[in-house]
């Protein structure tokens, strides 16, 4: 069996299963070995219920003899199967521990458990009203469980037709064939950074012998992902010649004149970023620049001024937003600014939901108006969208667009200037590595006219006061967001859901306050309709999932209430909080903490004490050490299989150093030990960057 052998060469994989694997991007033996687990289950030592004196909450494997058959109860919504197990206690004076086992919608359990037999019940024990409960426990025969005790079992991301057991069986089969993968790293890099051998890492990442070997394997594979990504970017940057600037930008004082007409003062950081953009656009080479600015820092006005200067010089410019609602809002804002400044420049909107006639008119304007300011979504890079004189392209919220899409956008013109905007608060050293093909400007000041958001972290007992406060803010003419982690009620996950919560809060608030619902499962036109109604204050309270993280600008919204705040990453909470505080009124963020752990309280206190996204990102790094093995990913702009730019910041830096050392010594990668890197970069681009949609 070879690495490039079809997946069907593994025993038991037929054409139907191969089709299911293909949906996961798995076609060959080598492909399946590179599908790493998303997490692991470590089965604990089984505890005999007869000898358990205390039973703390958490995962347990309880050995118990079934005394009588389970009872099936039929409720209004579902059938519930219940079995009580109890022990004798450690001695005659101590009563045994009692645990109630509960299965939802699984009535067949009653016939599978035989009275008088011993079984191991594995699941999470919780305590409610002084009683121990284990919901949806997995049932094992005693001998079966003993083979898994204390072992790490991988859990994979799956698709329809592929079970976790099938993944495990298939990967084990591939590994037992002694299939050797080629070592991608030069030996000097492995030695310098104390990295284990590649095949050892592959075996241990799938089936680790211990936590130590798992950490060793992950360290190696994380380094590989960063190294090949950075090597690819830096190598291409070194090889790619800077394109000469074909556009003549004159009269920089025009921009200064617009700035003086603004009803507010630009911050020093905004002025510096704008000056860097203007210098690039009038320079000898095509601009490729990232503007990184925290939420609410004023990146949009910088983009408008750059596009207005482009139109002033007779060229077209285009800005691509991540949502239709945001694109329409940019369009309305640009039209208004042009009117206020007395600028007679055409402003064109192009989005996917426009009618065929509206799109045709927009396409005609792109072809006929040489200094148009174009605003839109992904429709801007569709095949029918052709520009006659495009000199500047801007992507808003870069982490929603990949490098490949950015390249397609740029190809719509003849080497236009490229400006990328991101609100993700990445420490500058990481940004330099990640956006290795771009120059970087940072806007790290918030406009003085905006009041700092007032934060509070409270428990669930504060909800009635929060509802009253929201009603009070609505009476003052303002609006509120309420964020929930779930779309609807889930048996497998705890947390508030928008479907039920919206009904509950509507009942708590006065009848004349309209409550809206927004979540990712809604169709795009419905989501756009809800956001437009909220922007127009037709909806006063919007109950939503995190889909509003990058959304419409509603300066009138003054309250952000986040339920189960302990369930979200700090960077994501900060992005959500950035939906308010965009007007002149005082704004508030209420974070409901449903966790009793000190760690959750400590994390939320960071947000409670600071509105600075860069400080929050830095503090988050300190809290999320290597022990947070599969922590919440907060880096939406890059989605590696294992690596995380926050959690693995030290490895990112090490990989960057290794790349720099190699390219300084061998810029063309011609030395024998570096020849393989060409193939490895190409393979990585296919396997990883394609999966990231970059």
Rounded to 5 degrees, φ, ψ at 111 are: -85, -15
Residue 676 clears pLDDT 50, i.e. is over it: yes
pLDDT of amino acid 224:
94
Compute φ and ψ for 558, nearest 5 degrees: -120, -5
At residue 635, the pLDDT reads 38
3 state SS of 82: strand
The residue among 435 and 624 whose pLDDT is bigger is 435
Q: What is the pLDDT of residue 318?
A: 94
Res 613: pLDDT: 76
Q: Name beta bridge partners: 127.
A: 132
User: Which is higher by pLDDT, 10 or 692?
Assistant: 10
pLDDT of residue 638: 55
For the chain, the distance separating the N- and C-terminal CA atoms, rounded to the nearest angstrom, is: 32
For residues 178 and 33, is the Cβ–Cβ distance under 8 A? no
- For residue 416, give Cα distances in angstroms to 120, 248, 255, 307, 317: 65, 12, 20, 12, 9
Structure-block tokens of residue 539: 């909806």
The Cα–Cα gap between 365 and 362 comes to 5
Asked whether 123 and 136 are in contact (CB, 8 A), the reply is yes
Task: Work out the pLDDT band at 239, boundaries 50, 70, 90.
Answer: low
Torsion on CA atoms 321, 322, 326, 332, rounded to nearest 10: 20
Query: Which of the four pLDDT bands, split at 50, 70 and 90, describes residue 90?
Result: low
pLDDT in tens, 202-216: 999 999 988 899 999
Assign 261 a pLDDT band (cuts: 50, 70, 90).
very high
CA distance 2 to 179: 7
The overall average pLDDT reported for the chain is: 85
Q: Which helix (H) or strand (E) holds 656?
A: helix 649-665
81: left (phi over 0), alpha (psi -120 to 50) or beta: beta
Which H or E run includes 540? none
Beta strands across the sheet bearing 541-544:
454-458, 588-592, 557-562, 479-483, 541-544, 515-518
pLDDT in the model for residue 618: 65
Note the residue count of the chain.
Answer: 694
pLDDT (tens digit per residue) in 394-426: 987 644 445 555 566 667 777 899 998 887 666
**Averaging pLDDT over each range in 84-98, 440-454, 468-482, which range is the top one?**
468-482
- Which pairs count as long-range contacts for 596-605, CB under 8 Å and 24+ apart, including other chains? 597/566, 599/623, 600/566, 601/457, 603/566, 603/570, 604/457, 604/565, 604/566, 604/573, 605/457
What percentage of the chain reaches a pLDDT higher than 90? Answer: 49
Q: Note whether 484 and 563 are within 8 A (CB).
A: yes
Residue 175 pLDDT > 60, yes or no? Answer: yes
| CA neighbor of 616 nearest in space, from 567, 560, 569 | 569
| Per-residue confidence (pLDDT) for residue 420, from 0 to 100 | 87
Task: Quote the pLDDT of residue 258.
Answer: 96
Q: Are 58 and 196 in contact (CB under 8 A)?
A: no
* CA-derived radius of gyration, the chain: 29
Q: pLDDT band at residue 307, thresholds of 50, 70 and 90?
A: very high
Q: Give the least confident one: 47-61, 268-282, 365-379.
A: 47-61
The single-letter DSSP state of residue 409 is H
Asked if pLDDT for residue 491 goes beyond 60, the answer is no
Highest average pLDDT, of 194-198, 602-606, 661-665, comes from: 194-198
pLDDT band at 136 (very low <50, low <70, confident <90, very high): very high
Instruction: Give 41 or 472, the one with higher predicted confidence.
Output: 472
- Give the mean pLDDT of 593-622: 80
Domains of the chain: 1-42+158-179 (no CATH), 44-146 (2.40.50.140), 454-610 (3.40.50.300)
């Amino acid at each position: 069996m070879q690495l490039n052998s079809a997946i069907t060469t593994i025993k038991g994989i037929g054409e139907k299963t191969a089709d299911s694997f293909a949906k996961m991007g798995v076609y060959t033996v080598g492909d399946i070995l590179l599908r790493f687990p998303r997490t692991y289950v470590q089965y604990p030592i089984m505890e005999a219920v007869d000898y358990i004196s205390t039973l703390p909450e958490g995962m347990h494997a309880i050995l118990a003899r079934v005394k009588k058959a389970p009872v099936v109860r039929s409720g209004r919504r579902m059938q519930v199967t219940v079995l009580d197990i109890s022990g004798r206690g450690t001695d005659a004076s101590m009563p045994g521990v009692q645990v109630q086992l509960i299965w939802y919608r699984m009535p067949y359990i009653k016939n599978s458990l035989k009275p008088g037999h011993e079984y191991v019940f594995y699941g999470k024990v919780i305590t409610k009203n002084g009683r121990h409960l284990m919901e949806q426990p997995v049932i094992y025969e005693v001998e079966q469980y003993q083979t898994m005790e204390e072992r790490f079992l991988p859990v994979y991301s799956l698709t329809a037709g592929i079970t976790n057991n099938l993944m495990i069986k298939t990967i084990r089969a591939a590994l037992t064939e002694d299939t050797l993968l080629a070592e991608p790293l030069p030996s000097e890099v492995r030695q310098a950074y104390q990295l284990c051998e590649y095949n050892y890492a592959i075996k241990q990442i799938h089936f680790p012998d211990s936590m130590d070997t798992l950490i060793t394997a992950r360290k190696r594979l994380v380094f590989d992902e960063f190294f090949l990504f950075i090597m690819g970017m830096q190598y291409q940057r070194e090889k790619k010649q800077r394109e000469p600037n074909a556009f003549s930008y004159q009269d920089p004082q025009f921009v200064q004149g617009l700035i003086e007409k603004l009803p507010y003062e630009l911050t020093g950081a905004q002025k510096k970023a704008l000056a860097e953009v203007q210098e690039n656009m009038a320079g000898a080479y095509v601009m490729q620049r990232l503007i990184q600015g925290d939420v609410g820092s004023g990146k949009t006005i910088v983009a408008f001024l750059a596009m207005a200067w482009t139109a002033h010089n007779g060229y077209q410019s285009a800005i691509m937003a991540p949502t239709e609602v945001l694109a329409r809002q940019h369009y309305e804002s640009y039209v208004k600014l042009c009117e206020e400044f007395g600028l007679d420049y055409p402003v064109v909107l192009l989005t996917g939901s426009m009618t065929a006639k509206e799109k045709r008119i927009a396409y005609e304007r792109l072809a006929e108006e040489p200094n148009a300011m174009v605003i839109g979504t992904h429709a801007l890079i569709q095949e029918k969208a052709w520009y006659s004189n495009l000199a500047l392209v801007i992507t808003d919220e870069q982490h929603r667009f990949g490098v490949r899409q950015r390249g397609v956008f740029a190809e719509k013109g003849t080497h236009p200037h490229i400006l990328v905007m991101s609100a993700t608060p990445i420490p500058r050293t990481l940004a330099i590595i990640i956006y290795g093909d771009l120059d970087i400007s940072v806007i790290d000041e918030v406009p003085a006219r905006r009041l700092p958001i007032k934060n509070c972290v409270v428990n669930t007992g504060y909800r009635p006061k929060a509802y009253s406060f929201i009603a009070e803010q609505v009476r003052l003419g303002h609006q509120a967001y309420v964020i929930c982690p779930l779309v609807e009620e889930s048996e497998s996950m705890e947390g508030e859901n928008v479907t039920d919560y919206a009904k509950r809060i509507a009942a708590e608030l006065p009848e004349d306050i309209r409550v809206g619902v927004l979540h990712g499962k809604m169709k795009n036109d419905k989501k756009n309709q809800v956001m437009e109604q909220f922007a127009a204050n037709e909806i006063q309270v919007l109950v939503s999932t995190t889909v509003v993280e990058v959304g419409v600008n509603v300066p009138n919204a003054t309250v952000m209430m986040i339920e189960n705040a302990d369930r979200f990453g700090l960077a994501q909470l900060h992005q959500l909080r950035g939906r308010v505080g965009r007007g002149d009124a005082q704004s508030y963020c209420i974070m409901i903490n449903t966790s009793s752990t000190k760690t959750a309280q400590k994390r939320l206190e960071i947000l409670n004490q600071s509105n600075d996204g860069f400080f929050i990102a830095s503090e988050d790094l300190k809290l999320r050490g290597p022990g947070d093995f599969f922590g919440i990913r907060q880096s939406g702009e890059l989605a590696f299989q294992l690596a995380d730019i926050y959690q693995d910041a030290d490895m990112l830096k090490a990989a960057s150093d290794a790349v720099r050392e190699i390219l300084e010594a061998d810029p063309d990668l011609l030395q024998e030990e570096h020849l393989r890197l060409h193939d490895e970069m190409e393979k990585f681009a296919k396997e990883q960057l394609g999966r990231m949609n970059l």
